[in-house]
Structure 1
Amino acid sequence: MPSPDPLPRPLDHLAELAGPAGHGERPALVLREGTLNHNTLRERVALLAGWLAARVPERGARVASWAAKGELTCLMPLAAARAGLVHVPVNPLLKRAQVAHILADSGARLLLGTPSRLAALEPGDVPEGCAVLGEGEALAAAREAGVALGPSAADPGALAAILYTSGSTGRPKGVMLSHANMWLGAVSVAHYLGLAEDDVTLAVLPLSFDYGQNQLLSTWLAGGSVVPLDFLFPKDVAKACAAHGVTTLAAVPPLWVQLTEVEWPAEARGPLRRLTNSGGALTVELVRSLRGLFPAARLFPMYGLTEAFRSTYLDPALVDSHPTSMGKAIPFAEVLVIDEAGAVAADGAEGELVHCGPLVAQGYWQDPERTAERFRPAPAASRYGGTAVWSGDRVRRETDGLLYFAGRRDAMIKSAGNRISPQEIEEAALASGLAVEAVALGVPHPRLGQAVHLVVRGDAGHAEALAKRLKADLPNFMQPQHIHWRAALPLNPNGKIDRTALQAQLTEEYGA
């Protein structure tokens, strides 16, 4: 395959790639209520963009979506970009407190969502000046208005989306992505995965994540078809693969574990051409299971971070011989391993993974302090220069150029593919008034990667009340698997809570 075109374009131009002169009659989006071909997809994007531009005339204004996978959530990334707006996709699993924070922080002018989700919002959750509308109403209004907006002439460097992601401290922060970031991400992935117009992608990952959203963009760029799926049980994924002739399946390690434990009929396994993984490393045992279950499918282990979309992938030809490697840089990414002196680390030596190049995001929305911590000048060795993402992840590069993960420098919890802020859980526990002190930790778990454990100081008689309060205030993926009540928490020599000691105790007792 020739080298991918590095020229960025306005993101909404993706909708035009399968027009009348191309293969517009091929399926593009398979929904419960029917299938949209690429021509219809292009028309629906144009109508939704026209309605959005009229409803929110301020260019650069933020518009949020909070709904399960469907026509609205799949069209919004392109329609909002075409309308000159900034899309803020909200994870449908979040509870009202997190949604209220995202709406306020982003300054959203419009929220479109599932009526049942919108009904859960309380007075004060929606900021003044933000209109709220059900997703069905919005789609109907766009079709009724009948104003089709043509392809934009947006500056590829302009802001197109804000994706909210948890950090190791504090509430979710909004990562600012430009048209170019998202366009080149789609081009890069479509290229190294070898996507084609006859590919069918089963979109099981949340569209509020960059990994999930790229399922749409890279597949459509290649002229392929996307089948969005919100599933309850792993067997539903296998059934969908069989029903739709799925060729591409992306997941995170905990889901892969579950998928290897269900029955896969031949009609589900046969069409699969490629499996992709991110959100955590695959174990050697899991790689073997996947290779045994899907021998004809190429397996792509990948590493990424929202601040730079994706950094590396491992060539499927090397998976059996190097199952623990992160691989090498994806197209348009420059990945350096930098030592404490700021120089490129020697082969075999640990250093910090630094991502340079045009996939680097524009920083955190209205958060210059945290932006300055993560987005810093590129190392002197960079061929791109400019701003780089200093990941905080420790890696090493061997003599063959392959990278290997060594560990994280911060306290981020990664559970079931979700990045979880310990501080967000701790703040929720303290805000309940039922805990005097609180520490959230990630403990190794065979299925989740890490399980959330919460250690609190307070009256254990409040155990049931605290668990109930957390279930009301935090999304399911943030819920502690265990809450440990202590009369006192260990302190380090500086008088601070000794998180390291607590981590060691819990890992020894509960770790995988």
Structure 2
Amino acid sequence: MSADPEPTVLPLDHLALRGDPDADALVLRDRVLSYKELNRRIGALAAWLCAQVPDPGARIATWLPKTEIACLMPLAAVRAGLVHVPVNPLLKRAQVAHIIGDCGAAMLVSNKARLATLEAGDAAQAIVVEEGEARNAVDAATEILPPSGETADRLAAILYTSGSTGRPKGVMLSNANLWLGAASVAGYLGVGPHDRTLAVLPFAFDYGQNQLLSTWYAGGAVVPLDYLMPRDVVKAVAKHAITTLAAVPPLWVQLVEQDWPQDAAGSLRRLTNSGGALTPDLVRALRTLFPAADLYPMYGLTEAFRSTYLDPSLVDTHPTSIGKAIPFAEIMVVADSGKEAAPGEEGELVHAGPLVAQGYWQDAERTAERFRPAPPWSRHGGLAVWSGDRVRRDGDGLLYFVGRRDAMIKTSGNRVSPQEVEDAAVATGLVAEAVAIGVADPALGQAIHLVARASGDPAKAEAGLVPALTRMLPNFMVPRMVHWRQAMPIGPNGKIDRVALAAQLREQVNA
């Protein structure tokens, strides 16, 4: 565990008080909010939320692109004594309905186009509000809630993440989890009041939301961006003199292929990566294109926010390492024997300390599987997150990712549950059996391949499956390729032999 002392934990909405009142805090398309204006508009939104949803602890879901309301809500919900549930704007009706129902959202804030895709009963228990109504209320507000006095362990947010099986599960994050996450990242990145962060990642991800929180902790400015093409990112970096850019490997691959103006490339001071490993070739490309920028490879999981980062000075000599523990995290490697793994020995990464989340929302069984007592030698003790990820530590203490114990597919920076894809395929009525497998892909990290057996006319199934899945699933979950089988291989336990099927498929793809 880091020896750094933990800062005083304040309610999350106090981040709006961290910067110079007259300094830029949030750069929107139509206006720039200073820290003074940011704090006022958070207070106005919080007052409106209290009037609409007076029950403390109620969940407020947002299904939005990176608008002002999406940026304000993580802090405004806390100020109102409520819990924010950001929904990935890429998700479609079925996934959104599950999240709204699972968290028992009292309110859903979205835009007209997204709300039009919902069906009767999808948000039956929630007050459904178009985003414009919330913004109009903030613009016209006469009541402003002052900074809150919420406790450190009070639930502040629920972030939904896919599991290796089943539907997405909600990770419960406290004020302390989010505050210390912001302090940790701002600290080891060296972010300061003069920095400007281009927020390109979805706020529904812990990595994406931290773009806001860590920058505001440091008193800097955030420029939210919903981009259509990689070129949009280049233009935004140049226009706003961006100093900090966070991305996932597939986006970095696209960005290094762009023609970067010298002033844009030169303005960047730090690049951060998570959501998948950087290849040595990509590391070299980034270091060549952005020579003035420090590169921070990182590893994390939503259940504990962030676990490790690699010091930029070690990137060139150790390009495949995930580094060491971030401040406020204790990272252990547990061998299969249950003892602490020796240098070079493979084991499970276990994360303890104050960044560990409070568990999964209303899911005691899965909470007990992932959140278990820390190993006996832990300096921090208490509950730890047993990641299921296999790592090894070298003689210098640097960690290296080995593989995942579960079947999670990581594609385009997104964690995808194979079962979600499989369930959707069967739900089309065109497929009797389906297995989703991640296959290594240089652009995506992993590409989703689906092995399927038709339930009826094979020609009809082959023609209709991908269009049907495209209507049902977000784009990143739609299989890149479907492989049709007349029969699935069966293992000794009577179930589909996924290991054999994956081996066959990868051999076929790589042939």
Give the match for residue 120 of structure 1: 117
Alignment partners' CA distance in 1, 2:5 and 2:242: 25
1:103 to 85, 100, 124: 100
1:373 aligns with 2:369: yes
Give the match for residue 179 of structure 1: 175
Alignment partners' CA distance in 1, 2:444 and 2:133: 38
The Cα shift of 1:65 comes to 0.3
Aligned residue runs from structure 1 range 44-59, under 5 A: 44-59=41-56
The Cα shift of 1:5 comes to 4.0
Give the match for residue 215 of structure 2: 219
Moved more, 210-219 or 500-509: 500-509
Alignment partners' CA distance in 1, 2:112 and 2:278: 38
Give the match for residue 297 of structure 2: 301
Unaligned ranges ≥5, structure 1: none
Give the match for residue 73 of structure 1: 70
Deviations 1:6-43 (A, max 9, x none): 3222111111122xxxx211111111111111111111
Secondary structure in 1 matching 2:140: helix
Secondary structure in 2 matching 1:332: coil
The Cα shift of 1:504 comes to 1.3
Aligned residue runs from structure 1 range 99-498, under 5 A: 99-128=96-125, 130-458=126-454, 459-461=457-459, 462-498=461-497
The Cα shift of 1:495 comes to 2.1
Secondary structure in 1 matching 2:450: strand
Give the match for residue 14 of structure 1: 15
* 8 Å Cα contact 1:443/1:511 also seen in 2: no
Alignment partners' CA distance in 2, 1:506 and 1:251: 30
The one-letter amino acid of 2:387's match is S
Give the match for residue 37 of structure 1: 34
The one-letter amino acid of 2:344's match is G
Alignment partners' CA distance in 1, 2:416 and 2:219: 34
* 8 Å Cα contact 2:4/2:328 also seen in 1: no
Alignment partners' CA distance in 2, 1:247 and 1:334: 29
Give the match for residue 506 of structure 1: 505
Cα 1:90–1:391, aligned 2, differ >3 Å: closer, same or farther? same
Moved more, 323-332 or 119-128: 119-128
Alignment partners' CA distance in 2, 1:70 and 1:263: 28
The Cα shift of 1:94 comes to 0.3
Alignment partners' CA distance in 2, 1:51 and 1:139: 10
Secondary structure in 2 matching 1:100: helix
The one-letter amino acid of 1:496's match is K
Alignment partners' CA distance in 1, 2:140 and 2:288: 51
Alignment partners' CA distance in 1, 2:5 and 2:24: 24
Alignment partners' CA distance in 2, 1:510 and 1:308: 35
The Cα shift of 1:332 comes to 0.2
Secondary structure in 2 matching 1:335: strand
The Cα shift of 1:159 comes to 0.4
Cα 1:341–1:127, aligned 2, differ >3 Å: closer, same or farther? farther
Unaligned ranges ≥5, structure 2: none
* 8 Å Cα contact 1:411/1:422 also seen in 2: yes
The Cα shift of 1:111 comes to 0.5
Secondary structure in 1 matching 2:385: strand
* 8 Å Cα contact 1:6/1:332 also seen in 2: no
* 8 Å Cα contact 1:107/1:127 also seen in 2: no
The Cα shift of 1:288 comes to 0.4
Deviations 1:163-207 (A, max 9, x none): 001111001000000000000000000000000000000000001
* 8 Å Cα contact 2:351/2:386 also seen in 1: yes
TM-score between both structures, scaled by the size of structure 2: 0.97
Secondary structure in 1 matching 2:446: strand
* 8 Å Cα contact 2:6/2:328 also seen in 1: no
The Cα shift of 1:119 comes to 1.1
* 8 Å Cα contact 1:106/1:365 also seen in 2: yes
Give the match for residue 57 of structure 2: 60
The one-letter amino acid of 1:7's match is T
The one-letter amino acid of 1:11's match is L
The one-letter amino acid of 1:8's match is V
* 8 Å Cα contact 1:200/1:226 also seen in 2: yes
The one-letter amino acid of 1:338's match is V
* 8 Å Cα contact 1:29/1:36 also seen in 2: yes
The Cα shift of 1:76 comes to 0.4
Alignment partners' CA distance in 1, 2:393 and 2:8: 29
Moved more, 486-495 or 40-49: 486-495
The one-letter amino acid of 2:458's match is A
How many residue pairs get aligned? The number is 506
* 8 Å Cα contact 2:245/2:272 also seen in 1: yes
